[in-house]
Structure 1
Amino acid sequence: MRGCISKRKNGTYAYTVEMGKNAEGKRRQKMKAGFNTRKEAEQALAKVLADMGRGSYIEETKETVQEYFTKFLELKRPNLRPGTVKTYKWLIGYHIIPQLGQIPLTRLTPHHLVTMYEKLRLDGGLSPQSINHVHKVLHDGLATAVRYETLNRNVAALVQPPKIPKAKTNVWTDVELVTFLEYSKPYRYYMIILLAATCGLRRGEAIALRWEDVDFTKGTIKVAQSYVRGEKGHAFQEPKTKAGIRTIALPQMTIDALKHQKVLQAKDKLAAGVKYTDHGLVSQTKNGLPINPYYFEARWLDMLRKSGVKCIRFHDLRHTHASLLLLQNVHPKIVSERMGHSSVGITLDRYSHTYGVDYKAAQEINRIIH
């Protein structure tokens, strides 16, 4: 491997490197100009020759961040869930490209990322969690570029995204839960609410529950899919959790509500006639279509306002379910399985507040050693 330095007519310096021969046996050279001093050009040449000696040299590309991440999204699309594709598309299109799009990919530095995160926080009003999502997509995209030898390092791996503060779990007491369930009983979407409150289902899991996943004989449901808003309309995918498909035992009140729901759907089918498009879901619109989660969220907030019960997120119904079970000394392992957590450690960490001050432990240790 050889290289040389030359002075240009405009007074700047350039280096030229011998790159061997191409497939046709012709000599290949690489030249880079624009160095203000000979020393700068010599240092750059020495680095290129050292990288080539180690086998880590990657030829610079003029591809911008925008061009690369547009291609990256299409490369990832076949391996992503519909909801994840939508998230990646939004994060790339609304945050990464507007902030970094015109920078050449090989010139991207950790400083660019740190500056962007701060700008998203101050000017964009993004939460630490949202900025972490941006960072995750950047890290994934740049790691892919390294694997395909477009880059020789992932600058996102050198940057620490903002720390996500631990969210405070907001739950209802048993009295508040009973009050709201009684209030919401006449509403069309009561079944979705009840499944979250009595089975710990996520919103998408409750909306996506099918009749084929309900076993009235055994008194169980199988959580086998979740509803997401894809790029084009609704889509279904496997549950979010790594624990995968799970089976949950139903309380009698939920079994009774499911039977009543069947009757209500039969009336809907009769009223809609040929307009009814049955998707086989436990909760559907009057015409049999899946329920839009954003429309449901609006109805949920409306019910909360009118009920007079303390306002919580719909997702907090799931937290309420776990907290009430742990307060009744249901084994954390059982609660973890109902929630679909990948480990019991997640359950214990998330709901440790449920136990409060452990007077029982103090009494037990006193009994043992006193």
Structure 2
Amino acid sequence: MANKEGHRRFGSIRKLPSGRYQARYRGPDGIMRTAPHTFATTREAEQWLTIVESEIIKGEWQPPEDKETRLAPYGRSWIAERKLQPRTRENYEDLFRLHILPALGEMAIGTLTPASIRSWRRKLLDSGTTEPQAVKAYSLLRAILNTAAKEDEIIRQNPCRIPGYDRYHTPERPTATVVQVLALADQMPDRFKALITTAAFSGARWGELIALRRADYDPANGTLRIHRKVAALKAELVFGPPKSAAGLRVVTLPAIAKAALDEHLKQHVNDGDEALIFTGDKGALLRTGNFRRAVKWEAALGNAGMPAGFHFHDLRHTGNTLAASTGASTRELMVRMGQSSMRAALIYQHATNERDREIASDMDKRIAKATKLKKPKDAKKPKKQG
């Protein structure tokens, strides 16, 4: 049969020696493409061309070869090319390798559907993956496919659009009282007492604390300049900036934390602006695992009357609660704690240092009041002689 391109407004159809029909068309990119399969009749070929033409008119057409892009290489490239913190990159690589690749890696991105995503997640949970890990894996997959849909236009719509899959119930973490914080500090070796009080009353994170140097502390004003952190990678510890712009901040310490830190600097910190403030016995960078073993963390918790499973990171909640109880605004609290996305940081970063000092001063009053509770109320007064 003769080529029918001259009789068609879009595309062409020709009969093959096999007796079946082949459809071809020129895409918006100017490239001639052939249908992925042949047709038994010209009517079937015409219907297929009509569908393709409709997709082009509606702006929904995509190069067929894009739909063949496999998730495995695309996802690896996505992680490698993103601007990520080193620790975040490692976490993404692990999530992708352990939870996404085994089931979905060889699938073409264009074949992924909400149904296949639901099936994948169900299998993850059935295989023993915890819900928090499943949520993290789903969130990573959604971010990868968002790029495939919105930037690279490999797919028209992200199949990861299932309500509830990006959330899980997080039990509320415990908040230590001031008395418990001080009791926990008393259980520490001398070298780590100030680390506990500074963590609790400054709101600084572990990685921010162990990155602090002498130059970051202003003893005259009792302030800490937090501008970098240490990320614990698999092979090494790496210094870098905080996770977001909100992490760049100056925090005023309450007097009790300032006093502990001043004493710590005299006893345990080398001279020189670059000397790290918190280190191990031999001056090495601290790792969470080594620290827990060195201070016998679980035993220390029990001796301080604190619940088992209390994390070092939970100390932040004490300072946050105290600061909130002073009447500090949401903006001031977010700045002090460094809790914000980059966008939110632009809103919250305008809190003044003077107001931060007022917050720290009010915290002092509450700490002083709370520490009086350490004395038993029923203590008997000594009898008078005579």
Matches within 5 A, 1:345-356: none
The residue number in structure 2 matching 1:265 is 268
User: 1:3: Cα distance to partner?
Assistant: 4.6
Kindly provide the amino acid, as one letter, of the partner of residue 323 in structure 1.
T
Task: Give 3-state SS (helix, strand or coil) of 1:16's partner.
Answer: strand
**Which of 280, 283, 286 in structure 2 is aligned with 1:291?**
286
Kindly provide the amino acid, as one letter, of the partner of residue 306 in structure 2.
V
2:300 paired with 1:303: yes
User: Equivalents in 2 of 1:243, 1:126: separation in Å?
Assistant: 30
**Which of 67, 72, 78 in structure 2 is aligned with 1:72?**
78
Counting aligned pairs with the same residue, the percent is 25
The residue number in structure 2 matching 1:18 is 25
Task: Give 3-state SS (helix, strand or coil) of 2:160's partner.
Answer: helix
Matches within 5 A, 1:291-370: 291-298=286-293, 299=295, 300-311=297-308, 312-327=310-325, 329-333=326-330, 334-342=332-340
User: Equivalents in 1 of 2:193, 2:40: separation in Å?
Assistant: 72
Q: For each residue in 1:202-237, what CA deviation from the matched residue of structure 2 results, as whole angstroms up to 9, or x when unmatched? A: 222222222211011111111112221235411233
User: Equivalents in 2 of 1:101, 1:208: separation in Å?
Assistant: 38
Unaligned runs of 5+ in 1: 270-277, 347-370
Judged with a 3 Å threshold, the aligned counterparts in structure 2 of structure 1 residues 110 and 162 are, in CA distance, closer, same or farther, namely same
User: 1:21: Cα distance to partner?
Assistant: 10
Q: For each residue in 1:33-57, what CA deviation from the matched residue of structure 2 results, as whole angstroms up to 9, or x when unmatched? A: 2889998876654332212233432
The residue number in structure 2 matching 1:56 is 60
Kindly provide the amino acid, as one letter, of the partner of residue 322 in structure 2.
L
TM-score, length-normalised on structure 1? 0.75
The residue number in structure 2 matching 1:87 is 91
Kindly provide the amino acid, as one letter, of the partner of residue 287 in structure 2.
N
The residue number in structure 2 matching 1:358 is none
User: Equivalents in 2 of 1:193, 1:173: separation in Å?
Assistant: 13
User: 1:89: Cα distance to partner?
Assistant: 0.8
Judged with a 3 Å threshold, the aligned counterparts in structure 2 of structure 1 residues 199 and 266 are, in CA distance, closer, same or farther, namely closer
Are the aligned partners of 2:228 and 2:242 in contact in 1 as well (CA < 8 Å)? yes
Judged with a 3 Å threshold, the aligned counterparts in structure 2 of structure 1 residues 110 and 205 are, in CA distance, closer, same or farther, namely same
Are the aligned partners of 1:192 and 1:203 in contact in 2 as well (CA < 8 Å)? no
The residue number in structure 1 matching 2:372 is none
2:139 paired with 1:130: no
The residue number in structure 2 matching 1:272 is none
Deviates most, 50-59 or 331-340:
331-340
Judged with a 3 Å threshold, the aligned counterparts in structure 2 of structure 1 residues 306 and 235 are, in CA distance, closer, same or farther, namely same
2:144 paired with 1:141: yes
2:275 paired with 1:280: yes
Q: Which has the larger radius of gyration?
A: 2
The residue number in structure 2 matching 1:365 is none
Judged with a 3 Å threshold, the aligned counterparts in structure 2 of structure 1 residues 132 and 209 are, in CA distance, closer, same or farther, namely same
Judged with a 3 Å threshold, the aligned counterparts in structure 2 of structure 1 residues 48 and 266 are, in CA distance, closer, same or farther, namely same
**Which of 119, 134, 145 in structure 2 is aligned with 1:115?**
119
User: Equivalents in 1 of 2:16, 2:128: separation in Å?
Assistant: 46
Matches within 5 A, 1:193-204: 193-204=196-207
Task: Give 3-state SS (helix, strand or coil) of 2:73's partner.
Answer: helix
User: Equivalents in 1 of 2:43, 2:114: separation in Å?
Assistant: 26
Matches within 5 A, 1:29-44: 29-33=33-37, 44=48
Matches within 5 A, 1:200-219: 200-219=203-222
Are the aligned partners of 1:110 and 1:159 in contact in 2 as well (CA < 8 Å)? no
User: Equivalents in 1 of 2:179, 2:47: separation in Å?
Assistant: 73
The residue number in structure 2 matching 1:247 is 250
User: 1:310: Cα distance to partner?
Assistant: 2.4
Are the aligned partners of 1:194 and 1:254 in contact in 2 as well (CA < 8 Å)? yes
Are the aligned partners of 2:249 and 2:336 in contact in 1 as well (CA < 8 Å)? yes
Alignment size in residue pairs: 328
How large is the RMSD of aligned CA atoms in angstroms? 3.5
Kindly provide the amino acid, as one letter, of the partner of residue 322 in structure 1.
N
Are the aligned partners of 2:180 and 2:304 in contact in 1 as well (CA < 8 Å)? no
User: Equivalents in 2 of 1:224, 1:176: separation in Å?
Assistant: 29
Task: Give 3-state SS (helix, strand or coil) of 1:137's partner.
Answer: helix
User: Equivalents in 2 of 1:15, 1:124: separation in Å?
Assistant: 49
Q: For each residue in 1:181-201, what CA deviation from the matched residue of structure 2 results, as whole angstroms up to 9, or x when unmatched? A: 2222x2533333222111111
Task: Give 3-state SS (helix, strand or coil) of 2:75's partner.
Answer: helix
Unaligned runs of 5+ in 2: 1-9, 349-386
Are the aligned partners of 1:15 and 1:32 in contact in 2 as well (CA < 8 Å)? no
Judged with a 3 Å threshold, the aligned counterparts in structure 2 of structure 1 residues 154 and 37 are, in CA distance, closer, same or farther, namely farther
Judged with a 3 Å threshold, the aligned counterparts in structure 2 of structure 1 residues 143 and 306 are, in CA distance, closer, same or farther, namely same
User: Equivalents in 2 of 1:60, 1:196: separation in Å?
Assistant: 55
User: 1:130: Cα distance to partner?
Assistant: 2.8
Are the aligned partners of 2:230 and 2:237 in contact in 1 as well (CA < 8 Å)? yes
User: 1:162: Cα distance to partner?
Assistant: 4.9
